[in-house]
Structure 1
């Protein structure tokens, strides 16, 4: 079902991101919370559903006694103001309004339903993190041009900029809000590795459920810990001087990987494997596979160097 913008009669979907800056500015005027957020009850629910004929409505069904519900609702309130009237947010306390919750088919909370033209368009359940909620909203509404980066994006930007402590603090906050979203704990472990706190990172990974602990993302962080622990120090690498034997080449490549200079490290490992496959019981190939684990199967470098490894082997 298409969501129709009552101002234009056009489908209200992410394709509207292609509008001009001037149109985007007009569409995303400033609003107050009072203009876009409504407390739902038996006295106004019908009126709000009828309003969905004119503007889409998000029904935020929550239980005040549930902390994760409260976290998600606060996020939706922030987003309702940020999206500046693209949709209304109706907050439904299911404890105070069990009959309405039953009529809407709410079985557990948090439950967010998107209603347009009087009908249900889509819904999401569970305490989802902000990045996932934004991605869901952006299927139907044009993202605001001045939207701030999500906390997840802020953490990744901090890591890329070398601010591991800043990334760690963001992930710690996210873990407090979403303790069962294990990707944040893996992100925390990555930040700890970058801070050279490998033992703490390993402890975070050890406390994950078995299916998460043994999956590729966690294995990748473990590989990063091992790289940092196995690699020679910068001073020790410098002391190798002009040595070009297999051991020196391997140690330089490992140091590059430990310093996140992955492409240089992968290139060095591949070259060593080509020239001296037997070195240290095939250490270059084994380390290449560890780096692929650390980067993840979809990383461009993994894709490129896995192909090069295959070509070398076969």
Structure 2
């Protein structure tokens, strides 16, 4: 997949916590299509509906299984999110226009917090492309329609270049089990399945990346962002707070900033603290994989800081 599939991030995103009280639900117009779509717009394609609402109970069928046939684009949204109201109609309109070349799966983060956590969503609207049961690209925020169109075109082009398209070889059983567990938000089961795959195939990159992502999600779920930032304000070189804030920054879709801060922390520390920061940074590289554009320059910066 081209690196640029993951290149759009945090363009006007709204953090998930805290959030304002939800407004009353909008009243739909008779005869209208999905929210924001013109009346009468097609919502089905050759493979079925092109816009679907997804819950934790239907995720496996509507997203994982469907992504074996066509790309599925996840739209994480909430009724109180202003930028979501700008982006969702654009996605729905483009899905209808493409007539089933890809499926838009809409996830209400308030009703399905486990799905948002499993996907590492920290700000919305968050859009993630799933092919063959795996997230292959993403962006966050209400970006202009022309940029969304370009991102989709890159996704569809990349899928067309894959042997067998989305319906390629099924993942090994342990990886399939891990992906299902991630979809349910069961991080412990996902970790066990990834570890089982690594026990059988120690060099499996998907399992190694998956396990690193689970560990990142586990850490982030226990952080108090406000308290951590207060600690850093008091001491910019507080190692423990710096590592935790880097995790949060990566989870929010800004790995370049997180990596830059940790490289600077490597420069400013020594001994055990320096090794702790270095190891943490390498772990974040592992969680994102070499396909993340920010990883390669950060590796070079880390090497320069160490030597």
The answer, yes or no, to whether TM exceeds 0.5 is: no
**TM-score, structure 2 normalization:** 0.42
Q: Per chain length, whose mean CA-contact separation is higher, i.e. which structure has more relative contact order (CA < 8 Å, sep 6+)?
A: 2
Say which one has the larger Rg: 1
**TM-score, structure 1 normalization:** 0.41
